Amino acid sequence: MNEIKTISKGAFWLLVGFGASKLATLAFRVISARLFGVEVYGNFVVSFTLFSAISLISVFGLPLAMEYFFPRVKRSLAKGILLESLMVSTLISVALSSVLVLFFSYVVELFNVTDPSMLLIFLLITPIGAVSEILASVFRAYKNMKWEVLYKRVLPQVGVVVFLVLFSFLKLRSISIALSFALSYLLAAGVMFFVIRSSVFHDVRARRFNVIKLLGYAVPVSLSLMMMFLMVWEDNLIISYFLGPSAAGLYGSAAPISQFLILPASMFSVILLPVLSGITAGSKRARFVKVLSFSARWTLMLSLLFAIPIMIFSKLVLSLLFGSTFIGASTALSILAIGYVLFGLSQIFGRVLMSYNKPNLYMLTTVISVIANFVLNILLVPVLGINGAAVGTFSSMFILLVLTYLFVRFACNVTISDRRLFVGLLILIILSVLLYIASHISVNVVSVLVLAVLYFVSFFALLYILRVLTDEEIEMLKLLFARLNRKRY
């Protein structure tokens, strides 16, 4: 099936790109935490959260609107959409960052920030973050995941690590964190702009698109994305407000590890919207359900596959990466791990709602979930600390998954009944019990590595033996290994 191949090909590049970018992001956070300590790292978490919030608000849902409309219009109209989107997002980001700079002292006091210079730099570079999101959506809309991965995922994330190491040698102290982000994001945005201008829209004259139609799709999506961001990141701000930047830094060690579990969902969901939009436009329902089942099955199985060992060995993972000071976040890490598995699956169902042109329903699910998350965090953080934040985030992600599935089932009349998924989950349950028992025998780095290898090999071997893999999936795995082999030699 062409759609399965398109998603698998895109997923391969996203696996490479997201994997590299997530590893680079984790490396950046680990280096920052080890170089500057919990409090400075906590200031970074708060500053980056505000930077991400303004960038997300500024793009106004336009990236997903571009991904929806680009496959349906000519290049001249697509270029017009791009230019209008860049103008809108730039104006909004400049306005929002200016307001926060104007009330800078209040923001610093509100979130107990102890490194104002870092926060100020992050606020000033928010327009660059917004522009980068708009430019990267061009690659996703045209299903060119190689460029999206290289210029949006790998380049800026690897860049921040390189610049951080360089600045640390120059003894620039904590300000090197913000400067690393500023330079790497500016470089990535410049490269993307050049590539799009010279390769995607070369010799294409822009035509104006119906702005009302564009915003009609973008506004509900924008609100949904803002709500989604709050669900993922608002706990950092609430923790900093109640407990200070040191607690935010402690919690910030668990968050990036658990967010690795979004990788399988990201692999499929980013390319899924253009593919599903094309199928719905052709009213090919059987193909739609097959593509959705494929994406949902692998998203859930792969997410759980990695979540289980992270939960079982949470203390060891935190100690190895961030140091023994951060072991106190082990319970929060275990709770967040399951939460992000549910969150990833909800993103797949969210793409279904958007492909059916029902962004309002998607917005409703996120609004309800974010309100629940905010209320739970306000109630639980003062009592349970960072574990309360983890419980609140997990609960809101569970609510989001239930709501998106119900809307897909009843509003879109799409049902997933996948025997292979249930068999795969049964395999994971059995292996997780065995891994948990084995973890109590001996816990050191060597034994954990051996157990992890046996765990992963057993999972895929059982998938093959019990025929959980379809013929198409086996063929795609062969192509994947062949491609990896060619790259090695």
Q: What is the pLDDT of residues 264-279, one digit of tens each?
A: 777 666 555 455 555 5
Q: How much is the pLDDT for 17?
A: 63
Cα(66)–Cα(371) distance, integer angstroms: 28
37 sits in the region (left: phi over 0; alpha: psi -120 to 50; else beta) called left
Phi-psi region of 181 (alpha: psi -120 to 50; beta: other; left: phi over 0): alpha
Say yes or no: 396 and 430 in one domain: no
Domain count, the chain: 2
Report, as an integer, the average pLDDT of 411-433.
Answer: 83
Q: Which residues contact 283 (CB under 8 A, 6 or more apart)?
A: none
Last residue of a domain, one of 417, 448, 473: 417
**What mean pLDDT do residues 142-152 have?**
77
447 and 306, same structural domain? no
Residue with tokens 């930047």: 245
Is the pLDDT confidence value at 259 over 90? no
Check: CB of residue 211 under 8 Å from CB of residue 84: yes
Read off the pTM. 0.77
Lowest-confidence pick of 127-141, 173-187, 305-319, 438-452: 438-452
Q: What is the pLDDT of residues 338-368, one digit of tens each?
A: 999 999 899 888 888 877 777 778 888 888 9
Residue 427 and residue 372 share a domain:
no
Who wins on pLDDT, 46 or 11? 46
Residue with tokens 């490396």: 27
Same domain, 36 and 154: yes
Residue 219: predicted pLDDT: 74
What is the predicted pLDDT for the residue at 281?
Answer: 45
What is 209-222 written as a DSSP string? --HHHHHHHHHHHH
Task: State the Cα–Cα distance between residues 455 and 100, nearest whole angstrom.
Answer: 49
Per-residue confidence (pLDDT) for residue 479, from 0 to 100: 53
Instruction: With beta carbons less than 8 A apart as the criterion, state whether 40 and 174 touch.
Output: yes
**Could you tell me the CA-to-CA distances from 4 to 291, 298, 323, 475 in Å, in that order?**
6, 12, 42, 11
Candidate ranges 149-158, 420-429, 442-451; pick with highest mean pLDDT: 420-429
Condensed to tens digits (0 to 9), the pLDDT of residues 280-327 reads 544 556 666 777 777 788 888 989 999 999 999 999 999 999 988 899
| 182: pLDDT strictly greater than 90 | yes
Residue 162, pLDDT score:
92
How far apart, in Å, are the Cα atoms of 349 and each of 77, 174, 219, 353?
29, 40, 19, 7
- For residues 348 and 3, give the distance between their C-alpha atoms in angstroms, rounded to a whole number: 15
- The band of 177, judged by pLDDT with boundaries at 50, 70 and 90, is very high
Give the pLDDT confidence score for residue 196 in this predicted structure. 92
Q: How large is the average pLDDT for residues 373-396?
A: 95
Same domain, 400 and 441: no
- Same domain as 61, residue 140: yes
The rounded distance, in Å, linking the Cα atoms of 196 and 272 is 22
Per-residue pLDDT at 193 = 93
Phi and psi angles of residue 146, each rounded to the nearest 5 degrees, phi first = -60, -50
pLDDT of residue 484: 45
Statement to judge: residues 330 and 468 lie in one domain? no
Among the residue ranges 33-47, 114-128, 387-401, 403-417, the one predicted with the least confidence is 403-417
61 and 221 in contact (C-beta within 8 Å)? yes
Look at residues 220, 236, 231, 235 and name the one whose alpha carbon lies nearest to residue 370: 231
Share of the chain above pLDDT 70, in %: 86
Structure token pair of residue 315: 């203390």
The model's confidence at residue 488, banded by pLDDT at 50, 70 and 90, is very low
273: which residues sit within 8 A by CB, 6+ positions away?
A: 64, 67, 68, 351, 354, 355
**Mean pLDDT, residues 436-445 taken together:** 82
Q: Which residues of 451-487 are buried (b: 16+ CB within 10 A; e: fewer)?
A: beeebeeebeebbeeeebbeeebeebeeeeeeeeeee
* Same-domain check for residues 317 and 449: no
Sign of CA dihedral 361, 365, 366, 370: positive
My answer on whether 146 and 186 are in the same domain is yes
Which residue blocks in 142-262 are alpha helix, DSSP H?
Answer: 145-147, 155-169, 175-195, 211-243, 245-258
Least confident window among 122-136, 206-220, 317-331: 206-220
Identity of the amino acid at 167? F
Residue 184 has pLDDT above 90, yes or no: yes
Q: How sure is the predictor about 489, in pLDDT bands with cuts at 50, 70 and 90?
A: very low
Q: What tokens were used for 224?
A: 């949904």
User: For residue range 14-70, what is the model confidence (pLDDT) as tens digits?
Assistant: 566 666 777 888 889 999 999 898 999 999 999 999 998 888 888 888 887 888 888
What pLDDT is stored for residue 282 in this prediction?
A: 47
61-119: per-residue pLDDT in tens?
A: 888 788 888 888 888 989 999 998 999 899 999 999 999 999 999 999 999 999 999 99
Please check whether residues 327 and 349 belong to one and the same domain: yes
Supply the range of the domain harboring residue 30. Answer: 2-417
Domain boundary among 399, 417, 435: 417
Residue at a domain's end among 398, 417, 436:
417
What per-residue confidence (pLDDT) applies to 298? 83
Least confident among 37-41, 432-436, 468-472: 468-472
Identify whether residues 276 and 292 lie together within a single domain. Answer: yes
- φ and ψ of 103, to 5 deg: -105, 35
Same domain, 362 and 489: no
CB under 8 Å to 320, separation ≥6 — which residues? 445
Residue 251 has pLDDT above 70, yes or no: yes
